[in-house]
């Protein structure tokens, strides 16, 4: 479409059409989980809208799909008063306490007709963070954290990045016109697969891991840069609707009707809700999800039970703290006692000292747990944990082992408080703790622990992908003084390697060849391999596309680096400081002498881009399960991504293919029930048009 030939009214009409198409596609994808548009088509329409709005800025509106992510970070979050208070819920922890609540509200409601039918709505209690959303004439104008229930923080800029929260409501949901103001309550959360990916990225970057999805969600919502929030891919389930000034039942007379209306308005409502006709049925629902919740792709810590009728809710009202007509029926987290046999301190590749509780092995949530991170010295002081203590350990978020508390009444005589070392346990140099940070670091760049971590990162699959360079070999090379930096790998000979334990001539030759092959890895991988704090593989690709050589990025100012979409102030400062350290400048020169790729090959970049765009797998979603005959999972993932496909960790309606190996497990069962196409490794390679001969190569 030639924009130059369009009149102003026609341009506005086209913009409106594009917004409706994109909003409809987003609703189908993020809310209904039923994509109606290929990613490439969506991207094309999005770019057309973006171009039109750039050329005609007066036509840009807050509810446009292009306005989800803010360009500038917020300077602070303001505290605001909720239009409608967010009450806490009374807790119950078993069916007996549920029955007590049921009897109590019935006694309080003396006017209740014994023949009146009572329904209960049960909803899963999502383990996330509550949000209060305000819509004015159907357009999102405010998003606020729960706070203390009366006031919260205005984080509207971050809320707008959550794709399952509509920027504009579907007016067709209202037969008599959309109300002027609508208040919506719900829970924002991180899906488990996204949480795992975030922690994997943080671990690679030497950053402290999030303890559980709830904490990660809270930390994400309080990011000042909405571009970071957008990359974290938060999700949202709504559960409450308030329409000020509308007390009649013309819009919704019950919780069930309100949930149905919310979904019609464009919100994502948890599909596992249930309308129960008796309190016994509520108990059955609670018991069913006690085990089934482990199969969900998100965390839930209980069930919320509400009286369905808004009329009954109004009659019962509230106590000082809780609504009388609702209760949270919580599940007990799986915990187990064990004994702390030692507290060790690990030194990561960024120099961070992480204390670890080494415990007598205990079974927890289906796995054997023998170690748990204690995070930092502040956490140790808070717990007052000592060697010999009996502690309660649990899976935080059912994923990461954590020490919950110390049973001090069982503490043996003679134990001493644990104190973090003042010197690095590996190199013996003094450690430092930066102001306003909880992490203690070794700052000796020659520390063997830092060097080992740096080399392990450099040779990893996502970086230089040097096959055969495992942890044991890296440790031998460092301990024997054979290598003192990653650049030294490129002067290694087979003879040097043959002198190491369990290293024959054939293996040594393969490793030397793999090191030589890594010299061809693109600039983005080299940049990631340098191990700069906060620079993961995705950020490395962003940076390499902007700064096409090491000279450009090393000469760039903080402002130039931060000007890249997705790169915040903290990341920019880390990059800027890294290239100003003399030893890092020497390393870059050594890598240049070793003929590493320190510039972008523009011809190769263009060819790769064209190949990916034209691939039949572009936009297709894959899940890999089980042990494949010849490919490792990372290798299969890399091949799929190179062909334009996407690889996720969990099977859903959006999954196009499940690649299956031996011991496939529950993912195969779920894929079969959803009608997802099943592929063997051979069938995957056939789709990718890769022959067995190429695989051997």
Catalytic residue list: 125
- 540 close to 525: Cβ distance less than 8 angstroms: yes
- 62 close to 38: Cβ distance less than 8 angstroms: no
Q: How many other CB atoms are found less than 10 A from the CB of residue 588? A: 18
Look up tokens 């069916």; give the residue. 95
Hey, what are 64's tokens? 């446009």
Query: What are the backbone angles phi and psi of residue 258, rounded to the nearest 5°?
Result: -65, -40
Q: What are the b/e assignments for 513-522, b being 16+ CB within 10 Å?
A: ebbeebeebb
- Coil, strand, or helix at residue 425? coil
Rounded to whole angstroms, how far apart are CA atoms 566 and 549? 19
Q: Which H or E run includes 666?
A: helix 666-674
What string of H, E and C letters represents the secondary structure of 560-584? HHHCCCCCCHHHHHHHHHHCCCHHH
Look up tokens 């409501």; give the residue. 169
Q: Return the DSSP state at 68.
A: S
Hey, what are 20's tokens? 């409706």
Hey, what are 295's tokens? 């199969």
Q: Return the DSSP state at 28.
A: I
Hey, what are 243's tokens? 């329409």
- Distance between terminal CA atoms of the chain? 47
Q: What is the DSSP string of 250-301?
A: SS-SBHHHHHHHHHHHT----TT-EEESSHHHHHHHHHHHHHHGGGSSS-EE
Hey, what are 300's tokens? 């839930």
- Coil, strand, or helix at residue 132? strand
The closest alpha carbon to 139, from 230, 62, 251, belongs to 62
Look up tokens 């059409």; give the residue. 17
Rounded to whole angstroms, how far apart are CA atoms 165 and 588? 45
Q: How many other CB atoms are found less than 10 A from the CB of residue 540? A: 22
Rounded to whole angstroms, how far apart are CA atoms 163 and 167? 9
Contacts of 683 (CB under 8 A, 6+ apart): none
Rounded to whole angstroms, how far apart are CA atoms 398 and 333? 8
Rounded to whole angstroms, how far apart are CA atoms 128 and 186? 10
Q: How many other CB atoms are found less than 10 A from the CB of residue 239? A: 24
The closest alpha carbon to 67, from 37, 26, 30, 34, belongs to 26
- 18 close to 37: Cβ distance less than 8 angstroms: no
Contacts of 562 (CB under 8 A, 6+ apart): 568, 569, 571, 572
What string of H, E and C letters represents the secondary structure of 241-260? EECCCCCCCCCCCEHHHHHH
Beta strands in 84-200 (DSSP E): 91-92, 120-126, 129-136, 139-145, 151-153, 181-189
Q: Are strands 677-679 and 657-660 parallel, antiparallel or unpaired?
A: parallel
Hey, what are 118's tokens? 């009572």
Rounded to whole angstroms, how far apart are CA atoms 211 and 401? 9
């Amino acid at each position: 479409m030639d924009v130059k030939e369009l009149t102003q009214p026609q341009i506005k009409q086209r913009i409106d059409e594009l917004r409706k198409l994109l909003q409809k596609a987003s609703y189908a994808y993020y809310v209904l989980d039923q994509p109606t548009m290929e990613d490439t088509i969506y991207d094309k329409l999005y770019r057309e809208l973006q171009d039109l709005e750039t050329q005609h800025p007066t036509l840009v509106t807050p509810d446009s799909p292009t306005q989800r992510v803010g360009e500038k970070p917020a300077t602070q979050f303001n505290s605001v008063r909720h239009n409608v208070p967010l009450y806490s819920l009374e807790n119950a922890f078993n069916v007996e306490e549920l029955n007590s609540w049921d009897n109590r509200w019935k006694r309080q409601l003396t006017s209740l007709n014994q023949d009146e039918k009572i329904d209960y709505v049960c909803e899963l209690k999502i383990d996330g963070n509550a949000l209060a959303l305000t819509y004015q004439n159907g357009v999102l104008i405010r998003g606020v954290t729960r706070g203390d229930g009366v006031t919260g923080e205005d984080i509207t800029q971050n809320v707008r990045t959550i794709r399952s929260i509509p920027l504009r409501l579907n007016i067709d949901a209202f037969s008599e016109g959309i109300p002027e103001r609508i208040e919506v309550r719900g829970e924002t959360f991180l899906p488990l697969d996204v949480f795992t990916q975030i922690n994997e990225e943080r671990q690679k970057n030497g950053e402290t891991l999030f303890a559980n999805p709830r904490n990660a969600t809270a930390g994400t919502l309080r990011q000042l840069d909405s571009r970071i929030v957008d990359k974290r891919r938060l999700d949202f389930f709504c559960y409450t609707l308030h329409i000020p000034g509308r007390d009649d039942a013309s819009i919704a007379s019950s919780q069930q009707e309100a949930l149905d209306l919310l979904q019609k308005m464009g919100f994502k409502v948890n599909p596992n809700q249930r309308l129960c006709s008796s309190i016994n049925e509520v108990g059955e629902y609670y018991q069913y999800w006690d085990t089934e919740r482990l199969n969900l792709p998100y965390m839930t810590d209980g069930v919320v039970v509400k009286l369905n009728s808004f009329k009954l809710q109004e009659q019962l009202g509230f106590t000082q703290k809780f609504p009388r007509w609702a209760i949270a029926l919580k599940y007990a987290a799986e915990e187990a006692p064990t004994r702390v046999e030692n507290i060790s301190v690990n030194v990561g590749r960024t120099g961070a000292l992480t204390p670890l509780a080494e415990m007598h092995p205990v079974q927890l949530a289906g796995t054997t747990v023998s170690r748990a991170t204690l995070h930092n010295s502040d956490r140790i002081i808070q717990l007052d944990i000592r060697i010999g203590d009996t502690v309660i350990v649990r899976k935080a978020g059912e994923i990461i082992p954590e020490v919950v508390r110390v049973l001090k009444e069982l503490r043996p005589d003679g134990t001493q408080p644990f104190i973090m070392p003042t010197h690095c346990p590996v190199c013996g140099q003094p450690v430092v703790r930066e102001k306003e940070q909880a992490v203690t670091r070794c700052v000796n760049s020659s520390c063997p622990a830092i060097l080992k971590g740096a080399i392990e990162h450099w040779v990893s699959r996502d970086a230089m992908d040097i096959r055969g360079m495992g942890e044991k070999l890296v440790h031998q090379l460092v301990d024997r003084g054979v290598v003192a930096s990653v650049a030294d790998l490129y002067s290694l000979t087979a003879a040097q390697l043959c002198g190491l334990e369990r290293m024959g001539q054939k293996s040594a030759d393969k490793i030397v060849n793999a090191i030589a092959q890594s010299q061809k890895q693109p600039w983005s991988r080299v940049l990631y391999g340098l191990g700069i704090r906060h620079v993961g593989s995705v950020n490395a690709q962003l940076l390499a596309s902007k700064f096409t050589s090491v000279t450009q990025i090393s000469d760039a100012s903080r402002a130039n680096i931060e000007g890249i979409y997705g790169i915040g102030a903290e990341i920019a400062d880390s990059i800027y400081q890294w290239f100003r350290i003399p030893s890092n400048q020497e390393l870059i020169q050594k890598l240049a002498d070793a003929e590493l790729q320190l510039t972008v090959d523009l011809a190769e970049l263009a060819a790769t881009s064209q190949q990916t765009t034209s691939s039949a797998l572009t936009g297709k979603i894959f899940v890999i399960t089980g042990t494949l005959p010849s490919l490792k999972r990372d290798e299969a993932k890399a091949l799929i991504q190179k062909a334009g496909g996407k690889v996720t960790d969990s099977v859903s309606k959006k999954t196009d293919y499940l690649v299956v190996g031996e011991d496939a497990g529950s993912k195969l069962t779920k894929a079969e029930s959803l009608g997802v196409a099943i592929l063997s490794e051979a069938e995957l390679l056939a789709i990718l048009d890769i022959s067995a001969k190429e695989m051997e190569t």
